[in-house]
Copies of this chain bind each other. A is one copy, B any other.
Amino acid sequence: MGAERGRAEPAQAQEEAALRSDIGRAVGFSDAVFAIIITVLVLELSPPEVQPGGMAHALAEQWPTYLAYVTSYLWVAVGWLNHKGTFHRVRCTDRGLHWWNLAVLFTTALLPFATVVLSRSVQAGDRADEVLAVVLYALVGVLLSVAWLGLYHYLSRHQDLLQQHVPARFFGVERGRALFGIVAYAVAALVGALGSVPVALGIFLLLPVFYALSSNGFYDLRRRMRRPG
C-alpha cells in the first residue's frame, strides 16, 4: 500500500498537469456545435408543398425565415470569431473553463430560435407579439452576454491558463465588452416594450457589428484605430 502510494504521488502531479491540457478537444467540440447552430436554419428553408403556379407566393411568404437565416448566420459567425479570438489566447483548459464555454455554446444555440420568433412576429404585425419577441430576443442577448462575461472573468482570474504572450490585463478589459452587451440588450428590451420596436431592432442589428469589429478584443481594436491599415 505504501509502495503503491509512493508510486501514485508523482503520478498525481502528472495527472494534475494532464487535466489541464486538452484545448484541442474543447475547440473541436465547440467548432462542431457552432457549425450546427449556424446551419440549423437552413433546415427550415424547405419550400412548402404548393399548387402548380403557387411557388412565387409561397416563397415570398417565407421572407421572415430568410431574414432570420441571414441575421442568425452573421451573429453566430461573429460568435465563432470571438470564440476563436478568445481561445487562441488560451494555452490549456480546466473544468471551470469548460463549463463557461458550454454556457457560451448553450446561449448561442438559442439565437436562431429567438430570431425566428422575432421575424415572424414582425411579419404578423401584432403589437403584443412584437413586444414579446423583442423582449425574448433581448433576454437571449443578455444571457449570451452573461456567459461571455463569465468566460472573460474566469480567464482574467486564471492567468495560468493563458498563452505567454497575452497581456496581463487582457481579459479583465474584455469584460467591458460583455457588460456593454448586457446593458445594451436591456435597453433595447425597454425601448421595445415602452417605445419603438424599430429602434429596438436597430440596436439588435448594431450590436453584432460592434462585436464583429472588436472580435480580436479591445486591445486590438484600439491598436487598429491608432494605426489604420
Contact = CB atoms under 8 A, between A and B. Distances in A.
A210 B48 CA distance: 32
Interface string A37-66: 111101111110010111110010000000
Interface string A5-29: 0011001101100110110010111
Copies of the protein in its oligomer: 4
Contact of A129 (B42, B56, B98, B125): B56
Given A18-B163, A102-B77, A113-B45, A132 B56 contact: yes
B81 A98 contact: yes
Nearest to A113: B45
Contact of A55 (B11, B19, B133): B133
B25 A33 contact: no
A121 B33 CA distance: 29
Contacts of A216: 19, 95
A36 interface: yes
A15 B88 CA distance: 10
Contacts of A8: 167
Contact of A42 (B32, B112, B117, B124): B112
Contacts of A50: 124, 129
Given A8-B167, A36-B36, A18 B52 contact: no
12 contacts: A11-B167, A12-B223, A19-B220, A28-B31, A31-B32, A36-B39, A43-B43, A46-B116, A52-B126, A55-B124, A77-B99, A77-B102
